Amino acid sequence: MTHVMTTHASVIDLRHSQPEGARVPARDRRRALVTGAAGFIGSHLVEALLRTGHEVVGLDNFSSYYDPGVKRANIAASLADPRFSLFADDLATVALDPLLNGVDMVFHLAGQPGVRSSWGPGFSTYVRQNLIATQRLLEALARRPVPTVMASTSSVYGENDGRPLTEDAPLRPVSPYGMTKAAAEQLIDVYRHDRGVPVVCLRYFTVFGPRQRPDMAFQRFVDALECDRPLHVFGSGHQSRDFTYVDDAVAATIAALGAPSLVYNVGGGTPASVNEAVALLQQVTGKQGRVVHEESARGEVCRTWADTSRLRSEVGWQPRTSLTEGLAAQVAGYRRQRDLDEVAI
């Protein structure tokens, strides 16, 4: 049975939206709302919550930023679980009180991603999805406060001077995207102090792994190698990132719920250059491909590196997946989905 719904009026009561068979008694079962549930990180988070026995309400607007069919594939397995209900609607307009009805925890991962498309006329979408949508959720949480984790990004920091950045580093974003995420963090601070909304922010550093968005570098590289097309690398490839495997990011997201600090970095801990990552992908796929270097994208920083000592010491989290292991898993996930798509055709 498929639980994809479109919300309309506020009369929807999610406590009665699932089959009776889904209400299996469990002492530690809680009900979670996940925004951006069909996205890259969100779909993995939904699966992790379901595996640990929780009920999950998902919200996703299936935007056209990339093919909505990719999101449908991301969430397909979870839709078979009767403890999961997915609502297709926009956080910037949906009635939120019904969605929060009976919810014990919230994970806000919805937002407009991407640095390159945040310039020019596309900026209004970033304001709507990263600021207005977040403000509406904060207003709803002020009426019904529950422990909440909200996704932010390393892009709020801007350039890195070659040392690991702590959470106390100044926020100096160099793209409109990063600016909207920094502004969202400031909004959260306002609602924490004025309305007592219990929110923890996580600054993710370049998350990768199976189901990575098709516009992100590793997924583009894997697709190019597997389809025998040139790999297009922005800039020299010497730029480095603190790559974070998606399962580690999800574990941090769950662990941060109710954590004592207001903001945490989530990073893999071992930065690598884009060229090094390409070389690893060539080894994993067994294909060399032709690398084509293009002009650096506006708003892209040269390096990122997270100091994650706060998250490690306060909640006991640590990354467990190396870049090599994670890239192998991403390639394997790409091939599995390709095979499924071929069977469907």
CATH value at residue 125: 3.40.50.720
Confirm whether 276 is domain-assigned. Answer: no
Residues in Cβ contact with 122 at an 8 Å cutoff, skipping those fewer than 6 apart: none
Structure tokens at 338: 């390709």
Q: What is the pLDDT of residue 27?
A: 54
Q: Which domain holds residue 38?
A: 4-205+245-270+305-320
Confirm whether 225 is domain-assigned. Answer: no
Is pTM beyond 0.75? Reply is: yes
DSSP 12: -
Q: Catalogue the long-range contacts made by 124-128 (C-beta closer than 8 Å, 24 or more residues apart).
A: 126/176, 126/177, 126/180, 127/180, 128/92
Going through 92-239 in order, the beta strands assigned E by DSSP cover 105-108, 148-153, 199-204, 207-208, 231-234
Q: What is the pLDDT of residue 311?
A: 98
Tell me how far apart the alpha carbons of residues 25 and 320 are, in angstroms, rounded to a whole number: 32
The amino acid at 134? T
Which of 1, 6, 31 has its CA nearest to residue 19? 1
Q: 177 catalytic, yes or no?
A: yes
Is residue 172 within 8 A of residue 121, CB to CB? The reply is: no
Helices 68-79 and 40-51, packing angle to 10 deg? 0
83, 133, 243, 220 alpha-carbon torsion, rounded to 10°: 90
The amino acid at 202? L
| Average pLDDT, 10 consecutive residues per value, the chain (345 residues) | 42 29 55 98 98 97 95 97 98 97 98 95 97 98 97 96 94 97 98 97 98 97 97 96 98 97 95 97 96 93 96 97 98 94 78
Q: What is the pLDDT of residue 5?
A: 56
Which residue among the candidates 65, 126, 157, 177 is catalytic per the annotation? 177
Tell me how far apart the alpha carbons of residues 154 and 167 are, in angstroms, rounded to a whole number: 10
Helices 217-226 and 274-285, packing angle to 10 deg? 40
Confirm whether 195 is domain-assigned. Answer: yes
Residues in Cβ contact with 82 at an 8 Å cutoff, skipping those fewer than 6 apart: 1, 3, 18, 19, 21, 22
Q: What is the pLDDT of residue 4?
A: 55
Confirm whether 52 is domain-assigned. Answer: yes
Q: What is the pLDDT of residue 16?
A: 27
Confirm whether 113 is domain-assigned. Answer: yes
Confirm whether 345 is domain-assigned. Answer: no
Question: How many structural domains are present in the chain?
Answer: 1
Confirm whether 155 is domain-assigned. Answer: yes
Tell me how far apart the alpha carbons of residues 51 and 271 are, in angstroms, rounded to a whole number: 30
Confirm whether 254 is domain-assigned. Answer: yes
